[in-house]
Structure 1
């Protein structure tokens, strides 16, 4: 498959529950975000890291941009990523989401080619999974408005947009346990990395 589009890894966040900066998690001496980036490189031609400072990852080959709205959580990171991406549609995930499903991402890409929506997000009943998802640059104005109104709930920001929601049943065809949405919040969660990378 031809590499196309932009993927953004959100590397901000306070990491208060983990006790240390999650963007610095390492596996056998390598940063997890570097390993994630290499997987995303298989299908994307641009990888961007959104961090609190532009010089945070000087030794990585990826473009690093400073979070334009540091106190607004993922909403600020997505806004920054959309503003800096070179493609209309941008894939987003967090630095502590180690499970990358390339086939699922390709499935979403194919939908984008046929459906001019504002985003592609998995929905579980009344709950959405806002990351491991695509957002369109057309949403920049919505995120800007949400930030100006101090609305940090992603669903509230995008609820009136033309979002295509992927049913949980479809996502499970690619990720039966929905583990693509698992993130590492506590030190005890780091054991997941051994299961993923030491098989």
Structure 2
């Protein structure tokens, strides 16, 4: 596996309300480790520039930079806006905090696809569903996200579809990496 040499930063969105999980999703444990730790294990071989988008002090123990949403209650669009505003990197890997099965190999493929592409954003897809919270967003998209917030267009999939995008369809064997866990029942079914 090649270490990513391009200008890449990772932002993990940990600021959601977790209304369906009823507890802080990034700190939910899977096989004895918080979801966030699984994600960090997958991204640290690729870059050391990792920031958590959250104001929850429970994440401080990770020793990573933490930034609160610039505009509260704007969902993932607001989280990505916050990340892009903070970033000085051309490529920004945006991840939700509820994907404990994500792998370094899948993320490496996504980043390489983004670097090799002339598109604004590269996200993962299983061929039926798109996963815009496992995506690589270019820094210059900041005004598009600001405008979406100003106009209250907060549907992330619609926003991504309005941009020049590349949807990287991953193989069947890697599709478990895409699974986001939103409820206690989904956690119980995770293997």
1:39-188 correspondence to structure 2 within 5 Å: 39-51=42-54, 53=55, 55-123=57-125, 127-166=129-168, 168=169, 171-172=170-171, 175=174, 178-188=175-185
Secondary structure at the counterpart of residue 135 of structure 2: strand
Aligned length: 188
Equivalent in 175, 186, 191 of residue 189 of structure 1: 186
- After TM superposition, the runs of 4+ consecutive aligned structure 1 residues lying more than 4 A away are 27-30, 123-127
Q: Distance in 1 between matches of 2:103 and 2:119?
A: 22
**Cα contact 1:12–1:23 (8 A) shared by 2:** no
How does the TM-score come out when normalised to structure 1? 0.83
**Cα contact 1:131–1:181 (8 A) shared by 2:** no
**Cα contact 1:103–1:174 (8 A) shared by 2:** no
CA RMSD after TM alignment: 2.2
Q: Distance in 1 between matches of 2:59 and 2:105?
A: 28
Unaligned runs of 5+ in 1: none
Q: Are residues 110 and 27 of structure 1, via their aligned partners in 2, closer, same or farther at CA, if it must alter by over 3 Å?
A: closer
Q: Distance in 1 between matches of 2:40 and 2:108?
A: 16
How does the TM-score come out when normalised to structure 2? 0.86
**Cα contact 2:110–2:123 (8 A) shared by 1:** no
Secondary structure at the counterpart of residue 186 of structure 2: helix
**Cα contact 2:121–2:164 (8 A) shared by 1:** yes
Q: Distance in 2 between matches of 1:30 and 1:158?
A: 32
Q: Distance in 2 between matches of 1:124 and 1:111?
A: 15
Counterpart check, 1:14 vs 2:17: yes
Per the TM alignment, residue 181 of structure 1 is displaced from its structure 2 partner at its CA by 2.0
Aligned position for 2:34: 31
